[in-house]
Structure 1
Amino acid sequence: MLVLLPPSEGKTPARRGAPPLDLTALSHPGLTPVREKVLDALVAVSGRPDACAVLGVSPGLADEVARNTTLRTAPATRASRVYSGVLYGAAGLDALTPAARARAVAWVRVTSALWGALTIDDVVPAYRLSMGTDLPGIGPLAAAWRGPLGVELGAAADDELVVDCRSATYRAAWTPPPGARWVDVRVLREVDGHRAVVSHHAKHTRGVLTRHLVTRRGRAPRDGDELAHVASALVGEALHAVELGPVPRRGPRTLSLVVL
């Protein structure tokens, strides 16, 4: 199984004194050449007066953008600590038993505009960069990552169920090949018998599902039907209903998690 997560917008810096980034120690070493190029480009643009505008962030985040200029020397820590948004708070990937952590390291990949893809044990500094950015010297990041991620994640997804919890922005960087057992996880809210897609609560619910997948006992689900069966254990606790869509002619199958 391969569980694909988006990064959180907010990131928690490592404590002072922690070792800096070692690009050669990250998983998926085939991504290292692109990581080097994107990192150099980000460091360069983040020192410009118009950095916030180029990176598409508000002036209130200028300090986070300025921090990008020190990424090669800044303290780094495990990705499970750096990513700290709503999804990651619900997933609790930095508070797992050894067995659950081993499953999470093997199964979970965080897609990143800067690193391409990470395991939760990869050690990185906090940064500010979105996959939707057109980065000077690189171009649109989703396009820059598409080929390298196709090789790296394509190999990791070979003959595996792909559980896709990413947003559309990050999905643009890589989609599983045709014929893959690819399931898109969406979250709906039901009010007075009507259902609608939700945004903020969707992050929390996808985090709950991720934690359930890595902490439950038993083998990993192998297809959409088994995934829906596993997710149904959350009905009555975190979910109102779980619904699996039909197998489409192309693209992912949809797993709808319905919340109240």
Structure 2
Amino acid sequence: MLVLLPPSETKAPGGDGPSLDLDALSLPELNPARRKLADALAELAADVPASLSALGLSERQRDEVERNARLWSSPTTPALLRYTGVLYDTLDARSLRGAARERARHRLAVASALFGVLRADDPIPAYRLSGGSALPGLGSLRSWWRPVLEPALARFGDGGELVVDLRSGPYAALARVPGSVTARVVTEDPSGRRRTVSHHNKAHKGRLAAALATTPREPATVDDVVSVATAAGLECERTGDTAVELVTPP
């Protein structure tokens, strides 16, 4: 099983790994696209106003541009520890030990605007680039990534491996994964009507990811996803052939 996580805008600083080496990353067929994007992002950082505009940042976020300027020289840390925020705080990968950590290492991957997709242990530096961005000379990241990223992700499903896609909209747009299981976080009002929520979205997806990543039995079907989520204390229902809903209190 592969659980495909969204990235986060915020990144943990620092790291104790060597500088970025694309050959150390998973899915090496993505490296030509990764290299061109990384070079373009680092070069753009030389023009701070242009970087702020392209990345949708404010003057108070100039330090994010400085991170991009040091992209090829900054220390690295495993991808699963680089990303921060509600989902990753809830997932709490740092607390995993032994067999649970090994299962999570093999099952978790992170979508990335810069790197396409990363496995949990792939060493990366801190950077700033969002899925909805467009870089001068390269165009939108959707048009950049889709031709190369979709075939790479399709290999998981084609091999019979269950893919649980927890990506947010801008990252799901970078590459489709046919047949993947999707999860929607909803709330239900007294009349039984459900609507998508944002407040609990990341925390519930983090809890689901943690449960799927560490369960001893390898989930293989959408019903297995529901069973694992329910055992973890989540209210989870199957709503389609490849869809589930996580129901939160109103």
**Match of 1:88?**
88
Query: Which TM-score applies when normalising by structure 1?
Result: 0.89
Q: Which runs of 4+ in 1 moved over 6 A?
A: none
Counterpart-to-counterpart distance in 2, 1:101 and 1:129: 28
**Match of 1:259?**
248
Q: Which amino acid aligns with 1:254?
A: A
Q: Which amino acid aligns with 2:239?
A: G
Contact 2:166 2:182 in 1 (8 A): yes
**Match of 2:61?**
61
Counterpart-to-counterpart distance in 2, 1:202 and 1:105: 23
Q: Which amino acid aligns with 1:216?
A: T
Query: Which TM-score applies when normalising by structure 2?
Result: 0.93
Q: Could you tell me which runs of 5 or more consecutive residues in structure 2 were left unpaired when the two chains were aligned.
A: none
**Match of 2:129?**
129
Counterpart-to-counterpart distance in 2, 1:234 and 1:188: 17
**Match of 1:206?**
205
Are 1:142 and 2:136 counterparts?
no
Structure 1 counterpart SS, 2:246: strand
Q: Which amino acid aligns with 1:153?
A: L
Q: Which amino acid aligns with 2:114?
A: L
Query: Which region of structure 1 is more displaced relative to structure 2, 115-124 or 51-60?
Result: 51-60
**Match of 2:216?**
217
Question: RMSD of aligned C-alpha atoms?
Answer: 1.6
Q: Identity rate of aligned residues, in percent?
A: 44
Change (3 A) 1:98 1:143: farther
Structure 1 counterpart SS, 2:219: coil
Contact 2:156 2:162 in 1 (8 A): no
**Match of 1:183?**
181
**Match of 1:6?**
6
Q: Which amino acid aligns with 1:37?
A: K
C-alpha distance after superposition, 1:210-231 (max 9, x if no partner): 111122222x221112211221
Number of residue pairs the alignment of both structures matches: 246
Counterpart-to-counterpart distance in 1, 2:230 and 2:116: 31
Residue 142 of structure 1: how far off its partner (Å): 1.6
Query: Which region of structure 1 is more displaced relative to structure 2, 121-130 or 105-114?
Result: 105-114
Residue 18 of structure 1: how far off its partner (Å): 4.1
